Amino acid sequence: MKTPICPACGCSLVRLGITKESAVIRKYKEKEYSFCCDECALMFEENPEALIEETNSLVVCPSCLAEKPISQTVAIDYQGEKLHFCRCPHCMTVFQEDSEYYIKRLSGEIEFSGVFSEGRGCCT
């Protein structure tokens, strides 16, 4: 399951509550990239190759939305798709209790106001 990750800072846009419509979009080599803020987009423009390489192996835990290098995750097969979880056993347990919710949230189908929804947000 692919979820948008800012290629500059490595933050999950879902975790931050940033929708596809509210993300900052830039094109690089015919590919669109989604950023959490204008500052990250500017940072990306200065050295895109290095930042793409740096964030390329990041995945997002479906339960806690933590960003992790794929090598530091536990993978499970879910309906023919490989999902990567942080190593916390609780995350896999809560996922099994309501997997449809977590899949929809991870893909952006369910609105999630983000971890900063109660106060100052990311990059503000």
3-state SS string for 27-71: EECCEEEEECCHHHHHHHHHCHHHHHHHHCCEEECCCCCCEEEHH
Cα Dmax for the chain: 43
> In the prediction, which pLDDT does 20 show?
87
Report the percentage of the chain scoring pLDDT > 70: 92
| 12 has pLDDT over 50 | yes
Question: Confidence band (pLDDT; 50, 70, 90) for 121?
Answer: very low
> In the prediction, which pLDDT does 1 show?
55
Question: Confidence band (pLDDT; 50, 70, 90) for 83?
Answer: very high
**What pTM does this model have?**
0.83
> In the prediction, which pLDDT does 84 show?
95
The model's pLDDT over 17-41, given as tens digits with 9 standing for 90+, comes to: 998 899 999 999 999 999 999 999 9
> In the prediction, which pLDDT does 109 show?
85
Q: Where are the domains of the chain?
A: 13-107
| 124 has pLDDT over 50 | no
> In the prediction, which pLDDT does 118 show?
55
